[in-house]
Structure 1
Amino acid sequence: MSPEAVLDPARTNIDGPREGDVIVTDNLWKTYEMGDQQVHALRGVNLRIRHNEYVAIMGPSGSGKSTLMNLIGCLDSPSQGKYWLNGHDVSQLNDDQLARIRNKEIGFVFQTFNLLARATSLHNVELPLIYNGTPAAERIARAKDVLESVNLGSRMMHKPNELSGGQRQRVAIARALVNRPSIILADEPTGNLDSKTGDEIMALFDDLHAKGNTIVLVTHEPDIAEYAHRVVTIRDGVIASDHVSSRMLNKQDSDKHTKSKQN
């Protein structure tokens, strides 16, 4: 069965990227061949994320959220449909082209940190700049700046086994920031942390968003998703809901109450 055969005819078309859009998907499908069967992991996903939005993509295991993350992160290509990143259609790029886009446009933060065990914090943060050929003096300066920005200035020369879990995740976030990407894509960033440290990392994402970063948070935990300003829920390969988070609604109500008292 082709993707068209199961496509919802009521789907609203996306008319491509507009000024201020960072992520735009139009009728995005991902289909896997499993023997003589086709498995549709994504079924015509339409999504628009603007500059400086803070969006959580959530859903249970098998919902399609990880597949969508891989497509948004240019780790994979769609079977059908379009994906624009920062105004550029990246849906038909080959692996080498996708790798260049990833390094330039996307800062990844993973649950497992993915740090080099024998490298210092500074060298771990430098790595994306080494890959794109940034001169040594500039990359060291930029790596130091972002480590300072996540309050790890005193831990630059420490290796991962000399850091706490929260400090390791801060190194990973600094590494994600060092290329000044269009988006920060965080995949279960608190999954390996205790609740107190997880709250500290989510507070850091609040600070990064306040400084103008676009953040896409992928999680299966509703309480973590509520840190974002917008929550997109994926089920069975389609967007089941897309709404303002309760945290933002509460803030809006509080702001209205404060404004009415001032008047």
Structure 2
Amino acid sequence: MQLDRDASATDLGLRPTVWVDGHLYADARDARVGATDHGLVVGDGVFEALKVTPAGAFALRRHLDRLERSARAMGLPRPDRGVIATAVDAVLADRSWAHGKVRITWTGGDGPLGSQAAYGVPTLVVAATAAEVPPAGTDVVTAPWRRNEHGALTGVKSTSYGENVRGLAFAREHDCGETVFLNTAGKVCEGTGTNVFCVFGREVVTPPLASGALAGITRELLLEWADVTERDLTLEEALGADEVFLTSSLRDVQLVERWDGYAFTGLGMVTAQLAGVFAERSGADLDP
């Protein structure tokens, strides 16, 4: 089984191009953020990760909408969309690769060495790097920890990402490409960076946002472009599905071949159909 991994820039013989508060750095090693930046000290920041195709960064408008929502939830000032768009253009302008990702990070800026509010001037970092196209399928494992669907950061794409780092490491330890979290009610929630979909016959089901899942951009588009039902799913129901697939900005639509070692008997035909719909629609419109 081929495992998922985002190829690093050094894996591909390149280094990220980074834009920090108006300054463009061709070599990420030259870029600097202050040691007391609140995003570093206490995770007081939000971010977005966008797929880059030969045509450019995909779905920038929707990602910036979510960045604004996350910033508002964290009590951060509203980021300047025009500045971010300029920064995205800058980091992609001279790229020598076709496929990759852009990460936009918006933090509280310089602040105290504690959880009090930052001092007031946020930090904006935009970085771009090459990445391999993910495999069509992957294996997943259920996390031994639960997502809190009632937490202060539920639905917020925060830089406080330690739980997801630990979750993805758990997947690697089990030779899987993703870990799926249940919530405190025992319902299927989401992966470390993915949304989960189950296929029962011709019915496609995904957990509602009330489960604690992040409002993924690919999830949002698939709900607009296909017939999808939002409802709670138990782990037992999910394992009894004909097909399961994941969605994310960097994976698009990806078939789950095994979950906790259980191999699904479905041929993945519905998943393949939806992957085709997503590829066609997203290929026709860079910013749907």
Q: Same fold (TM over 0.5)?
A: no
Greater relative contact order: 1 or 2 (C-alpha under 8 angstroms, separation 6 or more)?
Answer: 1
TM-score in terms of structure 1 length: 0.30
